[in-house]
Structure 1
Amino acid sequence: MPTTRRTSRGSRPSGRQATLSFNHRVTKSVPKSIKNISSAPAKSPLAKHVTHAESDVKDEVATDAEENAQLGEPKQVELEPGKTEAELRADKITDRQIDQYWHNIEGERRTRRLHQEDLSLSEKILRYWDVSSQYGPCVGINRLKRWQRADKLGLSPPVEVLAVLMREEDKGTRRIETAYMDNILNSTAIGAD
């Protein structure tokens, strides 16, 4: 048993116990590319394509609104029913932009990935999304809801991930919404008692 320190009744301890402070900030290390994308999305190589597309859409909407004003019609901008602005941006992402997004991620690595030769590009991107901890936990929530939550919190999740999710959902890929880690944790071990 460890020895305890005893003080005499009349003596006071020489110093007080330090007060704990939770004012300092503890952060996890994040790859440089993710910091650049989240802090300044305009510096992303893919942001050039998205901003040009957005400006084209804004110009078209402005000219349509001007034409309607000249005709005496009220100004209205109609979005596709049931689609958010982020989903509209994700629809405009091309396969080339998705390939470039993955190529940039792979370019930061020192070695090539092992045991992923048989995976499709979309599965690689989604698995990388699953383990990107700066967007919150991936277990217990489906991928689309996690992306939407990160977007609402202002964490600037990659729109390419949303594009991949929407495309795989349209293809009807089974269990694309569930994170791979969730599948592993929910599986039953063989021989476990």
Structure 2
Amino acid sequence: MESARHMQEHWDVYQKGADQLTRDLLSLFSKVPESFKKQYQEVSADTLKSAQDLFYSLLGNIVNNVSSLILGVLLTMLYTLFWLCSPVPMDSSVDVMFRKYIMFKTLACFGYGISAGLLLYFLSVDLASVFALTTFALNFVPEVGPFIAMVLPCPVIILDSRIDRPMLVLFVAILGQLALKFAFSNIIE
């Protein structure tokens, strides 16, 4: 809660960062030759048209498959409900093994979340505690969750105008989180 309040109090820092990023991009774009700009506009118009066509075809496919998805989810929920009402009897050793796995997985996720939060804190990233909590929660999602958690602090890092070299901090944050992911996935878990 404290980190969210801190970020709210320093919102002008992020506005300055966004303004600086916009100025840098406009400066870079102004150095591009005019012929390249014209080609870029043509390619971007073609790309936009292709993206629009792809979007419409995907939307059509999604609409066509929604009913089967709803039916599948409904059947899965009913099956899960029946399974919870009358669980499959299992040996107590299997139950103990599942409980130990869940406990160790929770401890590993907690350690990974704390480590990622400390890394972001030492890099002076706002909302480090919030990112630590989301990293803890997303680490339960196999393989994809930690990578989503790595991407979440990127906008905060890039737009923070108090950071002298935000791209370097971003690189260190992502590389550090990748190293932590490797350590926790392959060594600790």
Could you tell me the TM-score, scaled by structure 2's length? 0.32
Larger of the two Rg values belongs to structure: 1
The higher relative CO (CA closer than 8 Å, separation ≥ 6) is in: 2
Could you tell me the TM-score, scaled by structure 1's length? 0.31
